[in-house]
Structure 1
Amino acid sequence: MILRFLASLVLLYAFGFLGFALTLPQAVTGQVTDAVIVPTGGPGRIARGIEVVEDGLARELFVSGVDPEVKPKEFAAEFEVPSRLMKCCVTLGYLAVDTRSNAGEAAQWMKENEFSSVRLVTTDWHMARAASEFAEALPPGTMIVRDAVKSSSDLATLYLEYNKLIAAAISRILPV
């Protein structure tokens, strides 16, 4: 009986991983939102966020988890952000250190600006967990558009992220 239960758990875990790895989300085109949020950490994320604002698909960009030592001018130079865009439309968040705190930092910014829709830009393998954390933290009723940046992730990255996704889900269920 216990052996069957454990075997069932292993199969559920394995099929869950396969589903996770084979159905990574993709980029979204054409959908307009009030803002775009980019948690730092993966290549192409910030460039995609800038592109979204430049294309008129969002009014403002919030980059969460920026190193506190990075100054706005350094950020603009590193990511080739035009100064007019940096002045009007880009806010850097310096408080977050992980996905959960990215969501909290972004939620505060969303409330302050009274935005009701957001495009979340992050790496494809990170999207499921990030979207879950953001949905939990953002004001109720906030529309979240998932705009994934394609990666060429390896099996180890996918495996680690899948386990983080499971851990995050369990932490919401079980009281700490």
Structure 2
Amino acid sequence: MISRLLSFLLLLYLLGYAAFVVLLPKPADMQRTDGIVVLTGGPGRVARGLDLMANKKADRMLISGVERSVRPQELAAEYDADIALFECCIDLGRESIDTRSNATETARWLKRNGVKTVRLVTNDWHMPRAGLEFSLDIPEDVEILSDAVPGKASFRQLFKEYNKYLLRYAAVLVGI
């Protein structure tokens, strides 16, 4: 009886992992939002956000999780972006150190800037957990558009992210 239960739970876990990998989110369309939030930590994220801003798909952008020593001029040079865009419309969030604190930092930024529609930019393999964290901190009247940057995650990275997602989901269920 116990071996059947354990086998069932293992099968459920493996099927969940397969669904996680197969159903990774896709990039969003080019609709306009009030704001854009880019989570640092993966390739293509900041470039996607800057491209959206250059194409006037939002009025403001927050890059959340920026190292304290990084200056706007350095980012503009690294991504071949107009420094004027940073001066007028891009905020560097330096308070967050992980996905959970990205959501907290973003919630404050959204309120401060009166943002009601926001595009969340992160890698496809990171989007499920980021979406979960954001759904916990962002007010319900704010619409979140998930814009997943396609990543080249390894089996190990996907497996690790799936487990982080499951653990965080379980923590939310028990109230942690």
Shorter chain as normaliser: what TM range?
over 0.9
| Partner residue in 1 for 2:4 | 4
Are the aligned partners of 1:99 and 1:130 in contact in 2 as well (CA < 8 Å)? yes
| Partner residue in 1 for 2:124 | 124
Kindly provide the amino acid, as one letter, of the partner of residue 86 in structure 1.
Answer: F
Kindly provide the amino acid, as one letter, of the partner of residue 123 in structure 2.
Answer: T
| Partner residue in 1 for 2:152 | 152
TM-score by length of 1: 0.96
Output the aligned Cα RMSD: 1.0
| Partner residue in 2 for 1:40 | 40
Q: Percent identity?
A: 42
Question: C-alpha offsets along residues 7-62 of structure 1, whole Å, 9 cap, x if unaligned?
Answer: 11101100000000011111112221100001100000000001111112111110
Aligned pair count reads 176
Runs of 4+ in 1 over 2 A off after TM superposition: none
| Partner residue in 2 for 1:104 | 104
Kindly provide the amino acid, as one letter, of the partner of residue 46 in structure 1.
Answer: V
Are the aligned partners of 1:111 and 1:139 in contact in 2 as well (CA < 8 Å)? no
Aligned equivalents of 1:65, 1:75: Cα separation in 2: 13
Kindly provide the amino acid, as one letter, of the partner of residue 45 in structure 1.
Answer: R
Aligned equivalents of 1:102, 1:113: Cα separation in 2: 16
In structure 2, list runs of 5 or more residues that go unmatched.
Answer: none
Aligned equivalents of 1:76, 1:104: Cα separation in 2: 25
Kindly provide the amino acid, as one letter, of the partner of residue 19 in structure 1.
Answer: A
Aligned equivalents of 1:84, 1:161: Cα separation in 2: 36
Are the aligned partners of 2:27 and 2:148 in contact in 1 as well (CA < 8 Å)? yes
